[in-house]
Amino acid sequence: MHRLVLLAVDVGLIAISTVLAILLCSPLSPLSALVNAKLYLLVTIGVAIPVLWIFGLNRTVWRFTSLNDCWLILGAAAWIVVFAIAGNLAVDGIQGIHDMPKSLPVMQGLLILCMLVGVRAAMRLRHTLRRRARVAKAQFRDERESVLLVGLNPIADLFLRCAAENAREHIQIAGILSNAERHRGRWLGSCKILGPPEAAEDVLHDLSVHGIRIDRIVLAMPYTHLSRRAQESLAEIERTQAIRVDRLSAQYGLSELISDSDGGAKESGSDLTAVTSATALAPAFGGGDNPASSYLRWKRMIDATGATLGIVCLAPLMLIIGVIVALDVGYPLIFWQQRPGAFGRPIRVLKFRTMRRPRDQNGRALTDAERVSRAGRVLRRLRLDELPQVYNVLLGHMSLVGPRPLLPVDQPSFSAARLRLRPGLTGWAQIKGGRHLSIEDKAVLDLWYIRNASFALDMLILLNTVRTVLFGERIDRRAIDQAWRELSS
């Protein structure tokens, strides 16, 4: 029965396409043209049913429409037009063909093709958006397993496509390692090729710098095809970093693709303490006329306006800084780190680069202190390296004022509460001590801000941020004690 419904929908679309083609080909007298071409319309509908049935278009799954399905639709449209002309000639003779606009068959074929492909593309887009919504829910607490894929071959391509279609709620592919050096920096689908398998340890270090932690390494190529150095590197990673190395068995295919949704999901963290309980934060997120909850409704609009003005006003300064970075540390100019955003959803926080490559010309690993350039120290001291985050604010990933985005390893145990707002360029904790504060004091100051957020408080934080940048950070013990006291009560 479902196939008959799909067939009826396709026939209806073909009828609509034919009517539109007749109207478009006779713009001066569309109604009379439609009356004269009624036989052609009926013949088209009559031949469309067997053609669609023969090509099997009613047996395809629309949400998985592929290029092969589009070729079938093209062939079906061509045959429908040919048979419609032949049927009209058989019924109405040569005179019926002469009365028909010469451009009608071409216009009809194009409209049929667009209609049939368009409705299938719309269904595929709808399915994709619904799947992305499910993935977004899984991303709120970053429950997905991060996988590094080793190998560039048809098995790797199949693994990526299967993961994208069926396991996006559980797996994210952080990158690919390929034996061919010429492939480095290129992309397979949406995954970047990061380097050779021999450089697995360096790749893991670079990803960790960007805030991405690898949970599993998957081999899409036989283990014996790896070089001895690559085998030793993977063995060392599995032994010292507790990262499991799995092999995609040629016998069982991709049986290990989808991880157990219950076992693979990470715990959301320890129980919230009394200070960070829902009761303590209820005034900021509850309904009613609470000033904080009322202001939060308008906060995004204020952030977008401020970010737009900031990008325009700061463009000359950022251009100068970009030139300094290019001359000092080289390309790329922008460095990014993946950090938890609102509700734990991963975001990429942008900064100007202030550190050189992790190894010197002799291959010696450099410490972070050695990697920071002189210009980089000045940019960090004046917080100018964080100016690209204005773009994060414009995109809605961040706010002008809010809890600063931390790396996952630096999140306090009660991070679920401080992630209830978008992270900010600056925040209450930054002007009350910043880097000199403990993680617990920073967290409680962030929670105090979430509960008391207002436009006046945001303006106060922005003005004091300028003072902090110019004169340095100072611990405000009074504000810290007040935050502990009010939230504890």
Contacts of 283 (CB under 8 A, 6+ apart): 290, 292, 293, 451
Residue keyed to tokens 């002189």: 374
- Would you say residue 357 lies in a domain? yes
* Domain membership of residue 86 as a residue range: 2-136
Q: Which two tokens stand for residue 117?
A: 């492909």
Q: Which two tokens stand for residue 356?
A: 């050189």
Q: Are 352 and 224 found together in one domain?
A: no
Q: Are 451 and 421 in contact (CB under 8 A)?
A: no
Strand ranges in 267-340 using DSSP code E only, listed in sequence order: 334-340
- What local confidence, expressed as pLDDT, does residue 189 receive? 79
Q: Are 218 and 101 found together in one domain?
A: no
Contacts of 311 (CB under 8 A, 6+ apart): 390, 391, 394
How many domains in the chain? Answer: 3
**Given 207, 235, 264, which residue is the final one in a domain?**
264
Q: Which two tokens stand for residue 290?
A: 């609470």
Q: Are 29 and 65 found together in one domain?
A: yes
- Would you say residue 34 lies in a domain? yes
Q: Are 317 and 362 found together in one domain?
A: yes
Q: Are 210 and 117 in contact (CB under 8 A)?
A: no
CA 211 from chain centre, in angstroms, equals 16
How far apart (Å, rounded) are the C-alpha atoms in residues 244 and 259?
13
- Let me know the angle formed at the C-alpha of 321 by 373 and 472, rounded to the nearest 5 degrees: 70
**Given 264, 289, 318, which residue is the final one in a domain?**
264
Q: Are 320 and 401 found together in one domain?
A: yes
Q: What is the CATH number of the domain that holds 207?
A: 3.40.50.720
Q: Are 297 and 446 found together in one domain?
A: yes
Q: Are strands 216-219 and 187-188 parallel, antiparallel or unpaired?
A: unpaired
- What local confidence, expressed as pLDDT, does residue 290 receive? 55
User: Quick one: which of 325, 314, 335, 330 has its CA closest to 375?
Assistant: 325
Q: Are 121 and 250 found together in one domain?
A: no
Q: Are 351 and 389 in contact (CB under 8 A)?
A: yes
Q: Are 104 and 44 in contact (CB under 8 A)?
A: no
pTM of the model: 0.57
Q: Which two tokens stand for residue 259?
A: 């991880």
- Would you say residue 365 lies in a domain? yes
- Would you say residue 269 lies in a domain? no
**Given 67, 101, 136, which residue is the final one in a domain?**
136
- Let me know the angle formed at the C-alpha of 303 by 388 and 423, rounded to the nearest 5 degrees: 65
User: Quick one: which of 318, 324, 342, 332 has its CA closest to 391?
Assistant: 318
Residue keyed to tokens 């609509």: 16
Q: Are 260 and 300 found together in one domain?
A: no
User: Quick one: which of 123, 4, 486, 48 has its CA closest to 279?
Assistant: 486
User: Quick one: which of 180, 188, 193 has its CA closest to 225?
Assistant: 180
| Residues of the chain where predicted confidence (pLDDT) is lower than 70 | 1, 92-99, 134-143, 166, 168-169, 249-293, 413-416, 489
Q: Are 435 and 324 found together in one domain?
A: yes
Q: Are 194 and 297 found together in one domain?
A: no
Q: Are 473 and 363 found together in one domain?
A: yes
Q: Are 298 and 156 found together in one domain?
A: no
- Would you say residue 182 lies in a domain? yes
